[in-house]
Amino acid sequence: MRAEPVLKWAGGKRQLLPEICARLPARIHTYFEPFLGGGAVLFELAQKRRFERAVVSDQNPELVETYQVIQRDVESLIKILSKMPHSEEEYYRVRASSPRLPSRRAARMIYLNRTGYNGLYRVNKSGQFNVPFGRYVSPRICDPERLRAAAAVLARVEIRHSDFEQTVARARPRDAVYFDPPYVPLSETARFAEYYSTPFGEAEHRRLQRVFAELVNRRVDVLLSNSDTPLTRELYGDYCLETVAARRNINSDGTRRGQVHEILVGGPLRTGLRLGATA
């Protein structure tokens, strides 16, 4: 089976995969992805055998642990998920639970993701998951073949719970980095979810730009996606910045769902080269 994301994730990159993959090198020694999320780009590149090894990370500890369990103990995870019923009562019981075993915590993460409202991951300031029950008729809680295909990919991937700057510290020429950070909001009311108890604000976006610039100076192939805003254009105006259209379906206000413009940022504008191209 083709390896695909096992989690629904707000801002997931499935629809932009052709645009993103076209801007990454055809052959990558080590692929780095510090904001892993749903992992669509990782799975696509792995499917096409475009990297020799990969280092991925996220600041969400539950997400990281879920991928580590898929990587190391997928059969136990499948066994647990296959016995979890779908009902509103069960959803809130699972949401309130605090499992001790990693495999059961991963099962909780996947169960809530597949049965919660719109597939959102949202936590309050105490770090507690607080998404309400989703009104699905028959959600696919356990998908054994998809989980096993993901495990096969993750078997050759290093998965970390770490900061983005730490994750890419050892990136070198012939490597590639893809940054897909929490987006700069399009407005003050556009923050529909917090993925971590600590928000990713303007100071972090400016630190990310400095890391981006350092990687470019080290001749590492680097690509970044973000929302198209005055701040992102200020930060990345000296680089190869392209606008792409994407459809976003997750918003509490249905009238605000639909096509939006995002940016993809590659190497130095002065080179006149697309990311991954050769002179």
CATH architecture group of domain 66-151: Orthogonal Bundle (1.10)
CB-neighbour burial class of residue 17 (10 A; exposed 0-12, middle 13-18, buried 19+):
middle
All structural domains of the chain with their residue ranges: 14-59+162-266, 66-151
Distance CA 31, CA 50 (A): 9
SS3 (DSSP) at 3: coil
- Write the pLDDT tens digit of every residue in 173-214: 999 999 999 999 886 655 544 555 567 899 999 999 999 999
For the segment 98-141, what is each residue's pLDDT rounded down to a tens digit? 999 999 999 999 999 999 998 888 888 778 889 999 989 899 99
For residue 201, what are the CA distances in angstroms to 106, 120, 208?
28, 20, 11
Q: Which residues, in sequence order, are CB contacts of 224 under 8 Å at separation 6+?
A: 178, 179, 180, 181, 208, 212, 236, 264, 265
Q: Please enumerate in sequence order all residues whose Cβ is within 8 A of that of 96, keeping only pairs 6 or more positions apart, or say none.
A: none
CATH architecture, domain defined by 14-59+162-266: 3-Layer(aba) Sandwich (3.40)
Which sign, positive or negative, has the C-alpha torsion 160, 162, 167, 169? negative
Q: How confident is the model at residue 273 (pLDDT cuts 50, 70, 90)?
A: very low
Q: Decide if pLDDT at 240 tops 80.
A: yes
pLDDT score at 60: 93
What are the tens digits of pLDDT across the range 21-67? Answer: 999 999 999 999 999 999 999 999 999 999 999 999 999 999 999 99
258-268: strand order across its sheet? 157-161, 51-58, 28-33, 176-179, 221-227, 258-268, 239-248
Cα separation, 276 vs 92, in Å, equals: 47
| pLDDT confidence tier of residue 14, bands split at 50, 70 and 90 | confident
Cα dihedral 202, 248, 153, 57, rounded to 10, equals: 10
What's the confidence (pLDDT) of residue 257? 54
> Strands 221-227 and 51-58: what pairing?
unpaired
pLDDT at 250: 52
- Supply the pLDDT for residue 248: 65
Angle at CA of residue 97, ends 94 and 99, nearest 5°? 110
pLDDT at 127: 80
pLDDT digits (tens, 9 = 90+) for 67-92: 999 999 999 999 999 999 999 999 99
